[in-house]
């Protein structure tokens, strides 16, 4: 850690060279802290009367540092030049990337700028480098869910939709699926926005609106090519959604993410995206609902005996114990460290397919899925509480947050 940026600058502004040096030191510290705190999502550099720097660590935005405002143009300028953006352009949002060697290897960062009322805001996102490490197990699929989901992946064609709000783990789930399929399938193509990192042996396409490379353009070209599996992160417009179903209908296995608060909420979202009902009941083979919870810190978690009310609500057995978050130096006094996903997997069986065709309501479809053995997000969450991965408060909060 270099010290310059910690020195308060009082009175007259520091000479330019000194400011540039301090800005560079600050940036080094910021990228270092982002990696150390595992700020895998994003570090933010907004401003008010001072330059406030925040890090998003495991989904929670945390204050990192406040520094004199005169460092702002230097830090922003340096980030923009690293990402090969137009440094003079301050009125239009820009996006770019850069890589930097660190102690743990080469890391890739994505930089996004946005003009705000007070000046330019910059969001730096640390991108995953090695996506091949993401597996169904390490993102939290329980054994029964992994089995149910593997069955879906073994289908020769059809569409599997991953649903949830922003930051619920949909993209990681798609990467885990690709890693699972990689051994058995020869030709897998992805369409991503943004490409979060590299997947060896997979053709990855980056959506770029400015260059006319939209999700729909890629889907149309993939339909003409000889590929077995298409992954789309995420279906945002009617044209892409309809093309994804068309691809599934014409013999491809399509894995896609969709912004919808739950698995069954996908139906109203698909309706909004004007996907013909015929496509849905003919080609949809599965739905996965996602949420992301924080992992309780193993170094300081405390065991407790749940109250009768919690036992009832969570359907616990008398011998089940739960854990509370406490906080220690290892978890930065947060009580949580790392994250784990919650999932609910719905396989579209003949009964559900018939109900979809008949236009059944979401509640009815959910009830039918439960009858067929779906484990709800809440039940999956409670099982993870009993296993000591997270807390009941966290599960309630994450599931409510998406409603
Ligand atoms: Zn701790």
215-248 confidence digits (pLDDT tens): 999 999 998 888 899 999 999 999 999 999 999 9
- The confidence score (pLDDT) of residue 185 equals 64
41 C-alpha vs ligand 1 centroid, how far in Å?
A: 21
| Residue 166, both tokens | 């922003």
- The confidence score (pLDDT) of residue 4 equals 31
Distance of alpha carbon 322 from alpha carbon 315, whole angstroms: 13
Backbone phi, psi, residue 66, to 5° = -120, 130
- The confidence score (pLDDT) of residue 114 equals 84
67 C-alpha vs ligand 1 centroid, how far in Å?
A: 28
Residues 6+ apart with CB under 8 A from 89: none
Distance of alpha carbon 175 from alpha carbon 271, whole angstroms: 26
- Grouping H, G, I as helix, E, B as strand and the rest as coil, residue 369 is helix
Residues with a beta carbon under 5 angstroms from ion ligand 1: 297, 299-300, 328, 330-331
324 C-alpha vs ligand 1 centroid, how far in Å?
A: 11
> At which residue do the structure tokens 């000194």 appear?
18
Domain 4-8+15-127 matches domain 131-401 at the CATH topology level: no
- The confidence score (pLDDT) of residue 39 equals 57
| Residue 327, both tokens | 């906080």
Right CATH for 131-401 from 3.40.50.300, 3.40.720.10, 3.40.190.290, 3.40.50.2000: 3.40.50.300
Decide if 301 contacts 293 (C-beta within 8 A). no
95 C-alpha vs ligand 1 centroid, how far in Å?
A: 36
387 C-alpha vs ligand 1 centroid, how far in Å?
A: 17
55 C-alpha vs ligand 1 centroid, how far in Å?
A: 19
Tell me the domain boundaries of the chain.
4-8+15-127, 131-401
Distance of alpha carbon 247 from alpha carbon 267, whole angstroms: 18
Sign, CA torsion 150/151/156/157: negative
Residues of the chain where predicted confidence (pLDDT) is lower than 70: 1-18, 36-49, 57-60, 103-105, 128-129, 184-185, 402-403
At the second CATH level, the architecture of 4-8+15-127 is 2-Layer Sandwich (3.30)
Q: What is the pTM of this model?
A: 0.78
247 C-alpha vs ligand 1 centroid, how far in Å?
A: 47
Distance of alpha carbon 331 from alpha carbon 315, whole angstroms: 30
Backbone phi, psi, residue 225, to 5° = -95, 170
197 C-alpha vs ligand 1 centroid, how far in Å?
A: 30
Q: Any idea what the Cα angle at residue 244 is, between residues 242 and 247, rounded to 5°?
A: 110
The separation between the first and the last C-alpha atoms of the chain, rounded to the nearest angstrom, is 42
Q: How many CB atoms lie within 10 A of CB 6?
A: 13
Q: How many CB atoms lie within 10 A of CB 96?
A: 17
Residues 6+ apart with CB under 8 A from 278: none
Decide if 241 contacts 283 (C-beta within 8 A). no
296 C-alpha vs ligand 1 centroid, how far in Å?
A: 8
- The confidence score (pLDDT) of residue 74 equals 82
């Amino acid at each position: 850690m270099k010290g310059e940026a910690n020195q308060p600058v009082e009175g007259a502004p520091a000479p330019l060279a000194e400011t540039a040096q301090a800005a560079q030191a600050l940036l080094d510290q910021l990228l270092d802290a982002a990696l150390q705190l595992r700020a895998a999502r994003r570090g933010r550099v907004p401003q008010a009367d001072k330059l406030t720097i925040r890090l998003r660590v495991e989904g929670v935005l945390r204050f990192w540092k406040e520094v004199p405002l005169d460092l702002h143009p230097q830090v922003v300028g340096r980030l923009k030049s690293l990402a090969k953006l137009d440094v003079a352009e301050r009125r239009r949002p820009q996006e770019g990337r850069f890589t930097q060697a660190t102690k743990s290897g080469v890391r890739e960062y994505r930089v996004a700028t946005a003009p705000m009322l007070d000046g330019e805001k910059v969001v730096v996102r640390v991108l995953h480098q090695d996506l091949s490490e993401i597996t169904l197990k390490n993102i939290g699929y329980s054994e029964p869910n992994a089995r149910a989901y593997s069955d879906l992946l073994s289908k020769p064609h059809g569409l599997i939709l991953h649903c949830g709000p922003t930051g619920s783990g949909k993209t990681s789930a798609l990467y885990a699926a690709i890693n699972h399929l990689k051994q058995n399938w020869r030709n897998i193509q992805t369409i991503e926005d943004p490409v979060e990192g590299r997947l060896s042996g997979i053709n990855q396409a980056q959506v770029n609106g400015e260059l006319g490379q939209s999700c729909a353009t890629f889907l149309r070209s993939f339909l003409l090519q000889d590929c077995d599996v298409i992954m789309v992160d995420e279906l945002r417009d009617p044209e892409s959604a309809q093309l994804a179903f068309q691809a599934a209908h014409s013999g491809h296995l399509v894995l896609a993410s969709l912004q919808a608060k739950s698995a069954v909420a996908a139906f109203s979202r698909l309706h909004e995206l004007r996907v013909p009902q015929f496509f849905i009941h003919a080609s949809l083979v599965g739905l996965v609902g996602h949420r992301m919870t924080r992992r309780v810190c193993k170094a300081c978690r405390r065991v407790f005996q749940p109250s009768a009310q919690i036992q009832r609500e969570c359907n616990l057995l008398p011998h089940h114990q739960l854990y509370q978050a406490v906080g220690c130096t290892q978890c930065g006094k947060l009580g949580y460290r790392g994250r784990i996903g919650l999932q609910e997997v719905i396989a579209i069986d003949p009964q559900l397919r018939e109900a979809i065709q008949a236009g059944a309501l979401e509640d009815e479809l959910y009830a039918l899925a439960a009858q067929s053995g779906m484990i709800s997000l809440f039940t999956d969450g409670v099982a993870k509480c009993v296993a000591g991965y997270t807390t009941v408060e966290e599960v309630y909060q994450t599931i409510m947050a998406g409603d």
